Amino acid sequence: MTISLDSLRGWIAVGCLGTALLGLLSSSVAGEPRAPVAKVLSIPVKGRAEAVLEDVCSSGLLLLNGITMGMNPELLLSDPQTGRPQSEIPMRSWVDAQAALYKANEPWQDGPFRCVAGGKQVAAVLADDLVLLDTEGKPELRRVRGPQRDPRNPFNRVMWHANDRAMSVNPRDGSLAVAFNGGSEPRVYIYGPDLRKLIGSWALPRYIEDICWSPDGEKLGALYSGAFDGKNEFVGANPHFKLTGIPDVEVFGANSAKSLLRFFSGDLEGKVAFSPDGGTIYTITLARYNGFKRWGRGAIRAFSAEDGRLVRILRVPGTGVRNNFALSPDGRLIVADASTPAPKFFLREMIADTFSWQKVARFVILDAQTGKLMFEHHEKTPGQATGVVPMRFGFSPDGKLLFVDANHAGWGRDSQVDVYSVEGLY
């Protein structure tokens, strides 16, 4: 039998195609395709009831909060690759002081805690003092007294419903910006990295919710609390309160304290952050887990850092997003809290004595430019997270790992930080 050259070429092509299809079939049978996002590690933190992820250091270490009133309270710097602690800062004396405030029915809040010098030091607000802690030797290096609480300040009568301090570390030189609401007036302070020098300080027109440095370290962004109106009257306890409509985002020159930009975000917001290139300012809807009724409408808003113009709104249909988010180092991805209230079943609540502020812990990863939903995950085990603390997030310096603290243990014992590989999204 004679086979023409064209027929031979055809059989070879069919054979190659068959081999390729067989290879694809074999790979599908052998295992699922590689997921774009995959959990690679869970880091347990014993004894901590609520959020444990405080910061991601420039060295890549995780700053974990193991502080609670009991057991052996400590701050941990852990290796995200292994989960093993690299250093521990005992915090017993501070916890005892907090316990005394609690027994006296005096207001108190944790932290915040932030990495300094790549994780060799930690800056913290302890009670109302700004403190620098050493992770390699003596725990406390320096302490600066914060403003004395003023009992006439309206904020101090409602502080259990609002954030009374905020802190941010300058990405360029490590200087610290910290704002307090509880003194005679809301005020921001800027200190050098070693806390030896007060670089600048100025009064703020409204109570603060969050502050952030611009990437070049030249500007300081402030987000004012929408829970208070222009007369500093508390309006945020009512889930149906009306928005004030007055500017709640302001950008200052860090050296001059001059106001450079002011605008109204359009909603009650929980966090403010600059994009890595400094051209965009992001905010996210604030919704307390204990009864806020606007779950599906929460969104991330992006504004021009030049003129405050609204550039885009990032929404997640069905669940919305709220309370907290983090940008990847290159600015391409945003991870956000998309938790929702847990389903309510009357008989189950009677039997299990569950709380009205339970939530299903869920986070989403979005394309920062288009808002496209890239990944979604919710906690199936244990599935619900009690308490009112939002999820916390952070990216590794190279952007390849995502750290998620789902606060899934709630008011119970022990918690964890989950580590995800996100290389598949690039």
**pLDDT of the residue at 228:** 80
* Residue-level length of the chain: 426
Q: How far apart are CA 293 and CA 273, in angstroms?
A: 25
Residues 241, 267: contact at Cβ < 8 Å? Answer: no
pTM: 0.85
Distances (CA, A) of 407 to 124, 255, 390: 21, 37, 7
pLDDT tens track, the chain, 426 positions? 444 444 434 443 444 444 443 343 333 333 444 568 999 999 988 766 566 899 999 999 999 988 765 566 788 899 999 999 999 888 877 777 777 777 776 666 678 999 999 999 999 998 888 999 999 877 789 999 989 888 888 887 775 557 889 999 999 999 999 999 989 999 999 999 999 999 999 999 999 999 999 999 999 999 998 878 767 777 765 545 567 788 999 999 999 999 999 999 998 899 999 999 999 999 999 886 555 556 678 999 999 999 999 999 999 998 899 999 999 999 999 999 998 776 665 544 444 444 445 667 789 999 999 999 999 987 644 444 454 578 899 999 999 999 999 875 444 556 789 999 999 998
Q: Are strands 62-65 and 259-263 parallel, antiparallel or unpaired?
A: unpaired
Residue 415: both structure tokens together: 């918690």
**pLDDT of the residue at 199:** 95
Non-local (6+) Cβ contacts of 424 within 8 A are 34, 35, 36, 37, 38
Distances (CA, A) of 107 to 158, 204, 228, 334, 418: 10, 22, 19, 34, 31
**pLDDT of the residue at 321:** 93
**pLDDT of the residue at 171:** 96
**pLDDT of the residue at 150:** 87
Give one DSSP letter per residue of 212-227, joined into a string: EE-TTSSEEEEEE-TT
Q: How far apart are CA 401 and CA 417, in angstroms?
A: 12
**pLDDT of the residue at 138:** 77
**pLDDT of the residue at 293:** 54
**pLDDT of the residue at 376:** 93
